[in-house]
């Protein structure tokens, strides 16, 4: 049974292990104090709460102050499907087989394989189910308790998750068997797409690259996976993908809209309001300032 957990496969550095210990120690603090010190531990500087000039600073302020009730709906992987349907139609919605909290209650006869099982309220967890042996392994592991205990409203103080009911979803595994799907992540400010991060699978691992809305490669590294050396061709149906991202992000301030362009059509993977929990790093660092200017122009004006 293959995990769908995200993240590059590398050993945690001593620095990162020390950071995690520090984050646990300060987890008892109120949100603003916690975020101030966690931000410092990651970036080596304190956030400017009064006059933000960085995207990463705006993200911290958003977590503390922005209470748009729509946010809790769009970050819930099950409830977001209703929002997506209302905005752009149901053809881009990944079919759902089951939502609940007890995998023991699943009628597996209603689940068409291959499928994906994952939490509705968290990232970095889940499994591909390709055959009966995968279902058997899942039911032996019974990950419900671990998955349902995840709480991003505490881990990174992401307010939107404080009103999300922890559940588990089983949905269709999109794409043809063996099809390697790129993940197109549209960074958009109130309907204005500013760049697309592309996560491209290769036999030796995952790679990333960043493109403008005009499909020109940008000299930006999201600093998560290695940079892809070669240029990517402009994907088919790209204009349709742009329009979907614009429509879904309108009215959300900032949102990252994740799309898949498959042989079956375009599908929305998820809507993210706080990439990397609001602690995303960029190479070069100046890009943090550039994204903040988009926030000034399209969100706070």
Q: Does residue 70 surpass a pLDDT of 70? A: yes
The 10s digit of each residue's pLDDT in 148-157 is 999 999 999 9
pLDDT at 10: 47
The 10s digit of each residue's pLDDT in 112-164 is 999 999 999 988 889 999 999 999 999 999 999 999 999 999 999 999 999 99
The 10s digit of each residue's pLDDT in 248-284 is 999 999 999 999 999 899 999 999 999 999 999 999 9
- Residue 169 pairs with which residues in a beta bridge? 99, 118
Determine the Cα angle at 174 with ends 171 and 176, to 5°: 140
Mean pLDDT, the chain, as a whole number?
94
For residues 198-206, give the mean pLDDT. Answer: 94
**Residue bearing tokens 């209470």:** 67
pLDDT at 199: 97
pLDDT at 30: 97
Query: What strand order describes the sheet that includes 205-211?
Result: 205-211, 192-202, 183-189, 254-262, 265-272
Largest distance between two CA atoms of the chain: 56
The 10s digit of each residue's pLDDT in 1-60 is 666 654 554 445 888 899 999 999 999 999 999 999 999 999 999 999 999 999 999 999
**How far apart are alpha carbons 264 and 176 in whole angstroms?**
8
For residues 224-229, give the mean pLDDT. Answer: 95
**How far apart are alpha carbons 157 and 64 in whole angstroms?**
8
Question: In the numeric block, which tokens belong to residue 56?
Answer: 């990463």
Give the 3-state secondary structure of residue 118: strand
Domain 14-298 CATH (choose: 2.20.200, 3.30.470, 3.40.50, 1.10.287): 3.30.470
pTM of the model: 0.94
Q: Give residue 301's pLDDT band: very low, low, confident or very high (50, 70, 90).
A: low
Give the 3-state secondary structure of residue 250: coil
pLDDT at 85: 98
DSSP for 136-169, written as a single string: HHHHHH-THHHHHH--HHHHS--GGGGGPPP-EE
For residues 105-110, give the mean pLDDT. Answer: 97
Determine the Cα angle at 221 with ends 215 and 222, to 5°: 100
pLDDT at 4: 62
Question: In the numeric block, which tokens belong to residue 125?
Answer: 């967890």
């Amino acid at each position: 049974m293959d995990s769908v957990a995200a993240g590059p496969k590398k050993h945690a550095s001593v620095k990162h292990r020390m950071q995690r210990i520090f984050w646990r120690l300060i987890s008892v603090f109120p949100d603003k104090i916690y975020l101030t010190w966690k931000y410092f531990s990651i970036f080596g500087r304190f956030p400017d709460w009064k006059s933000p000039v960085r995207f990463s600073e705006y993200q911290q302020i958003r977590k503390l102050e922005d209470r748009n009730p729509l946010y809790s709906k769009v970050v819930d992987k099950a409830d977001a499907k209703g929002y997506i349907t209302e905005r752009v139609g149901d053809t881009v919605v990944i079919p759902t087989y089951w939502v609940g909290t007890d995998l023991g209650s699943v009628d597996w006869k209603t689940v068409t394989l291959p499928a994906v099982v994952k939490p509705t309220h968290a990232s970095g967890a889940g499994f591909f189910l390709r055959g009966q042996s995968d279902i058997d392994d899942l039911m032996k592991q019974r990950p419900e308790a671990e998955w349902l205990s995840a709480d991003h409203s505490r881990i990174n103080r992401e307010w939107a998750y404080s009103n999300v009911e922890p559940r588990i979803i089983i949905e269709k595994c999109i794409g043809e068997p063996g099809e390697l799907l790129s993940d197109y992540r549209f960074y958009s400010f109130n309907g204005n797409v500013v760049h697309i991060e592309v996560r491209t699978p290769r036999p030796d691992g995952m790679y990333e690259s960043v493109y403008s809305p005009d499909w020109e490669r940008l000299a930006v590294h999201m600093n998560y996976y290695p940079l892809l050396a070669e240029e990517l061709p402009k994907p088919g149906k790209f204009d349709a993908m742009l329009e979907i991202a614009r429509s879904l992000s309108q009215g959300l301030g900032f949102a990252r809209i994740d799309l898949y362009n498959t042989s079956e059509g375009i599908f929305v993977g998820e809507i993210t309001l706080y990439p990397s929990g609001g602690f995303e790093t960029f190479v070069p660092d100046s890009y943090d300032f550039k994204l903040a200017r988009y926030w000034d122009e399209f969100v706070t004006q």
